[in-house]
Structure 1
């Protein structure tokens, strides 16, 4: 009787072990598929910039000095975009340089009443902090496209970077009409890429990235803008 019970328990434990291994294998395959889909999306997104880059080069050759200078700025932006989009992560100082290039191009469309600023706390070393490639650009572009373009009057965009122990907190704030989830998801895939990348990356990290978007309100409860916040632990690894 005891032998039968022992054998039954052993069989049950073996079955549980097999089921657990199958579950972990399935989870691993799902992560691999998610990563592959993200990479495929990056490839699709890079087809159009490659075409644009070639068109810009041809246009620059046949342009006047002032127009050529503006087009060169756009061409550099496209080239940097191509280089960065193929990387899983980027150091924060390079992300900030790219965002500043992007802002220079967008200023022509936003007008003279657009203010842009970057506030970096003294204890932040941007050359040592890694974040997923293009995240900061996506958040900046979303703020401009969904918040500031078409906005009447003064436009503000502010990037704030600070530390909280072993976490880097990056905030992108604007004074637009506020965040509308349906509108944002319909108009682009930027937030989808961010959420998928965070989910896949967090799967193999003990310390997790955190991301949230909130509307900013005044004392009367009126929406006066939007704030997107990314929290990056120091020891995040990227695959």
Structure 2
């Protein structure tokens, strides 16, 4: 057999054996390690995995070799070089050491030289680690790097193998087939890894474009959160059209807000959701998946929905609802789950930003109204006239009234914060009521019966004072006899209710229906609708105000807020009568 025929035969067999390399490359591309390789440093466990994985690949390169002239024509360098690309010089050398030791145990006059050569190939691959991580190494570059590594291996065989004549003869026969086969194997391995990574990036880019497109088209429909059913319904139809899901549902914490797609003939808005995975998502705040019709849990026998991804909708750190993407007649993929999670995250951010914008608008309006109401000439002139009258009859009383008026204005005119302690809010109430009582004497009475433990509860600023003001102006003043206002509290687990009750003239039934509607009470201080809207925007739709009233008997307003507190700096009792 001629030298050319021998080299051709060796090359053919080595290239044929590279099928194992392709298999290893495919297995690696499917691992979670590879998916995060380009984006995060490797942990110690992941580095150990690389050494074991590519150590086996390098050793396999020896098993897949061809025995010739007391040596082995092999593809062992593929594992060492690619390990260096992925893990750096140390990983490359360690893998080369594993492959080299295995080769050394097989003996032969090139055993030591081959062991050193494999380690050198791993080191060479490691020198290009940063370039590979930055995706600057393609199949062409990696072929050249592999060829250089194999040429150096051939030189090492000549230097360290004896007799030298046999080493030269061996290299003349195996060098070209080994250089081509190993370089091609390295190039093929890198090509597979790069193609998988590019495909992953394309999928992520497509998801990102789709998610942003959905966000842009639905932004106007979530300005009111989940409260506006028709708007949410329209948003669900857009999501259905864009994602290709079989059906889309949007829920709050208890019921379906909107449903679009297959199954809409029996999945109706307003009904409680039945899927256990939805409850799991609401409770845990994580994406949940139902992969079978049984897990979906629809009681309608012919319901076409067979799988669902449920992703949480969050704002203010709380789960307020869920987005559900249903599918029929096919299994859920990781892409479906990732897409649902991406859309829900963007929608949550969208709702949060809308709520913050509305909250800022309401706060500005509340502060402006508070400013206008409290510097109302009638209130100011009446207070000053009262103080003036006391300067003659009771100077000490006049002094106290002046201090109260000053403190009242300081509180109401300060910018403050969205939330203040109940103690601060009650202080403002007491100052206001003290000034009004100075004018009307025993006609007014305020009883505050709130245990000291609740004084650190946080509530929106300008919450209680408007209610007391409304009770005085519209409940007590129209009476011709003594009026009383009670301020009390009750709590239930993580909810606190502040109750403002008066024995005034009450509110007619028709007017009572309008009091909490937007815009009612404009021009007369902070309307109660504004107070309720601010509470809902800060804490969520399940909080706010409720009112009950009976003509000639009185009115009761209940403020419902979450029980969240701050540490108090003072410890004074708050049971008092004014």
List alignment gaps of at least 5 residues for structure 2.
Answer: 1-203, 220-346, 566-578
Q: Are 1:225 and 2:225 an aligned pair?
A: no
Whether 1:36 aligns to 2:370 is no
What TM-score do the two structures reach when normalised by structure 1? Answer: 0.72
Matched residue SS, 1:86 = coil
Does the 8 Å contact 1:114/1:156 carry over to 2? Answer: yes
The verdict on how the C-alpha distance between 1:211 and 1:16 changes in structure 2, with shifts beyond 3 A counting, is farther
Write the deviation string for residues 48-78 of structure 1: whole angstroms up to 9, x where unpaired: 55798x9999xx99x7635444333212211
Offset, 1:26: 5.3
Is it true that 1:112 corresponds to 2:442 in the alignment? yes
Question: Contact 2:549/2:555 (CA < 8 Å) preserved in 1?
Answer: yes
1:76 and 2:407 matched: yes
Which residue of structure 2 aligns with residue 176 of structure 1? Answer: 504
Corresponding residue of 1:192: 529
Distance 2:515 2:360 in 1: 27
- Looking at structure 2, the residues matched to 149 and 102 of structure 1 have their Cα atoms a distance apart, in angstroms, of 15
**1:1-239 equivalent positions in 2, closer than 5 A:** 17-22=211-216, 23=219, 24=347, 27-45=351-369, 47-48=371-372, 65=395, 67-83=398-414, 86-121=416-451, 125-179=453-507, 180-181=511-512, 182=514, 185-186=520-521, 188=524, 189-203=526-540, 208-216=542-550, 223-235=552-564
Q: Which has the higher contact order (CA 8 A, sep 6+)?
A: 1
Structure 1 residue 214: Cα displacement: 0.9
Map of 1:6 onto structure 2? none
**Do the aligned residues in 1 keep the contact of 2:539 with 2:561 (CA within 8 Å)?**
no
Greater strand share, structure number: 1
Deviating more after overlay: 173-182 vs 27-36: 27-36
**Gaps (5+ residues) in structure 1?**
1-9, 217-221
Say if 1:167 and 1:234, in contact at 8 Å, map to a contact too: yes
Please give the alpha-carbon distance, in whole angstroms, between the structure 1 residues aligned to 2:422 and 2:371: 25
CA contact (8 A) 2:502 2:556 kept: yes
The CA RMSD over aligned residues, in Å, is 3.8
**In 1: Cα distance, 2:493 partner to 2:360 partner:** 34
Segment of structure 1 superposing worse, 127-136 or 168-177: 127-136
Give a deviation string over 1:137-182, Cα, whole Å, max 9, x none: 1111111111111211121100111222222111000011223345
Question: Aligned-pair distance for 1:27?
Answer: 3.6
Q: How many residues align?
A: 216
